[in-house]
Structure 1
């Protein structure tokens, strides 16, 4: 397979993932990373490609949710404030391939469990929405900081880790949680990519290829947000992509 055909296939896969994920309220960052791993991209390039794609997709989700009044910035702000400096720090510090592979591999394994096993309906109870002991600003700041650092190092936006925590602390209803996670991913990814760019001395990938991928996920995100998919359930999408992420996590850990 020549390079141009490979880039075309990757672009189509990014479009397809973005379309499916956004149609059911997901972002898809871990799946973009999994695709890049399967196609053998170097560890230095993965965050530089995945983080801009995260930003584009969650921007579309944010526009739709903000328009419908689901986004409460004040409630999400402590997570964001904790995330910004640590995502930048995680992006800017030099890490070896071994360290990167370990952090990303474990993150992908956790993400796959999150997709395949955890059901939000099992941990969300609207009657217990208020007064959870961990639903306070200090806890939010610490959680945002930890996830931010992991995101900056690995290139994962962090929403896949944050959203189950939001359900557990009774942060809000499912739409509010999707909105909060999207804002977190946006800020987290933006801070992380700045750190990665500061660290990177030389980018060995075509800017045109990155722009094509960004356009692919943007188009997929818009179409997916406007589309109601009847032939695939949310559960099917989660399990299928969860298996993809699981495979990529095992692949990168085994080298």
Structure 2
């Protein structure tokens, strides 16, 4: 089967399109992971999830390329390997999706804990957040604000001097990131489930190795028989003119003798 034959087989074309869409989904997962690392919310114990998104995006992209290759070459073993990889990937994404959902109700606790950890061990990070978000403190402008010289230092400092706290903005950023994760994973999950079902159906229709060997033997036998038949026909064609020439020669001699 070549690439042009895909358009003539709806199931192969359908699976080809699904894998192309899944490739874009993998790129989207990679982008969401990068966004989580470079944004402010990387503080709040979702850095691991961001790295998972990056790795998952690369894996989804690789598996989609395997799927596209299997659709084009239509090789049964490659289809089987693709289906197995896709099955494990779907299960892993389901685990990540469930884990992300379970963290939704823990956002306030995670953010408070992370802010305290940064306040104790990495105040420069909180200072950067306050500058970028133009806020002071966590719950209020005096709640664990940077600089630590006094509770009002952030609000009264000429370098900061902000009148709003950082909690609401950070929570809003976290919610946007969470929505992006859930949306992309859900979309990719649906596409991959459809691709998995389609690949299994197409796999059952592909010939086995024994069937392929038998077809090769039949094709070889057919070509051999056709070659022998053509050879016999060519030999018969060469003999008949020779026989006619001999008869013509004898007839000419006979007529001359008369």
Q: TM-score, normalised by structure 2?
A: 0.25
Q: Which has the higher helix share?
A: 2
Higher Rg of the two aligned structures: 2
Q: TM-score, normalised by structure 1?
A: 0.25
Higher RCO, Cα 8 Å, sep 6+: 1
